[in-house]
A and B are shown apart, each in its own frame.
Chain A
Amino acid sequence: GNSVTQMEGPVTLSEEAFLTINCTYTATGYPSLFWYVQYPGEGLQLLLKATKADDKGSNKGFEATYRKETTSFHLEKGSVQVSDSAVYFCANAGGTSYGKLTFGQGTILTVHP
């Protein structure tokens, strides 16, 4: 079946620090992979996605590369801002899931000035 294992948090960083949040997955077939972000009091919103091996998704300075050989989709940002403080979810749409997403547990990121 499909699963997502996400780096446990919380993660606390100073502004302008480098961010990595690890994510590995298992799936049937060749899944699309996603990172969603949830700001306080809001629903999840798509941050970036990748649909095939070696694809790199990017948005708002965040990047993640689909690594089939290591079944990973780690999220990175070179210089975080206070406004990046949120909960980040890795998700996997398994090859036979017909749109159903399997989410990781979420990683709380707090960025201090």
Chain B
Amino acid sequence: DARVTQTPRHKVTEMGQEVTMRCQPILGHNTVFWYRQTMMQGLELLAYFRNRAPLDDSGMPKDRFSAEMPDATLATLKIQPSEPRDSAVYFCASGHTGQGRVDTQYFGPGTRLTVL
């Protein structure tokens, strides 16, 4: 069973520290999504890539967040510096998309981030 993997599963850090989250999408999927889930805001789309190119990162605070896909098997989400309000569960999802086609998004297990 192909799955999206995310590391680390849990991260506790102190305010001001850099945090890097990693995602390995399902092989063959051309689109990768980053979401953030909190009780207050629900599920928010932060950014997404197709064929490794960023398509939309309007949901991301630009001053501290950055997302990249160094290669087709790795997506990263970085927060620098981290703040307590960044505490959330961060999900990566992958799927196959194109104009007029929307396939299922497959979610990873998430990274639970706590910033003290």
Enumerate chain A interface residues (CB-CB to B < 8 A).
Answer: 32, 34, 36, 41-46, 49, 51, 89, 93, 97-101, 103-106
Interface-lining segment among B61-69, B71-79, B80-88, B96-104: B96-104
Q: Provided the pairs A43-B107, A97-B102, A98-B50 are in contact, do residues A106 and B97 lie with their beta carbons within 8 angstroms?
A: no
Chain A interface SS verdict (over half): loop
When C-beta atoms are compared, the residue in chain B nearest to A97 turns out to be B102
Pick the contact of B110 from A36, A43, A101 — CB < 8 Å? A43
Q: Please, how many angstroms separate the alpha-carbon atoms of A46 and B102 in the complex?
A: 13
When C-beta atoms are compared, the residue in chain B nearest to A29 turns out to be B100
The answer to whether A99 and B95 have CB atoms under 8 Å apart is: yes
The answer to whether A100 and B56 have CB atoms under 8 Å apart is: yes
Pick the contact of A43 from B56, B104, B109 — CB < 8 Å? B109
> Which residues from chain B contact A36 at a C-beta distance below 8 Å?
107
A-B contact list, 9 entries, CB within 8 Å: A36-B107, A42-B109, A43-B91, A51-B102, A98-B98, A99-B31, A99-B50, A99-B102, A106-B42
Place the interface of chain B in its size category: 20 to 34
Q: Please, how many angstroms separate the alpha-carbon atoms of A18 and B91 in the complex?
A: 31
The answer to whether A103 and B107 have CB atoms under 8 Å apart is: no
Q: Please, how many angstroms separate the alpha-carbon atoms of A93 and B31 in the complex?
A: 14
> Which residues from chain B contact A89 at a C-beta distance below 8 Å?
43
> Which residues from chain A contact B93 at a C-beta distance below 8 Å?
43-44
The answer to whether B102 and A32 have CB atoms under 8 Å apart is: yes
Q: Please, how many angstroms separate the alpha-carbon atoms of A23 and B56 in the complex?
A: 26
When C-beta atoms are compared, the residue in chain B nearest to A102 turns out to be B45
Q: Please, how many angstroms separate the alpha-carbon atoms of A53 and B86 in the complex?
A: 39
User: Is B108 an interface residue when CB atoms closer than 8 A count as contact?
Assistant: yes
* Shortest Cβ distance from residue B90 to the other chain A in the assembled complex, whole angstroms: 10
* Shortest Cβ distance from residue B7 to the other chain A in the assembled complex, whole angstroms: 14
Q: Kindly name the residue among B97, B101, B102, B104 whose own CB sees the greatest number of chain A CB atoms within 10 A.
A: B102
The answer to whether B42 and A105 have CB atoms under 8 Å apart is: yes
* Shortest Cβ distance from residue B55 to the other chain A in the assembled complex, whole angstroms: 7
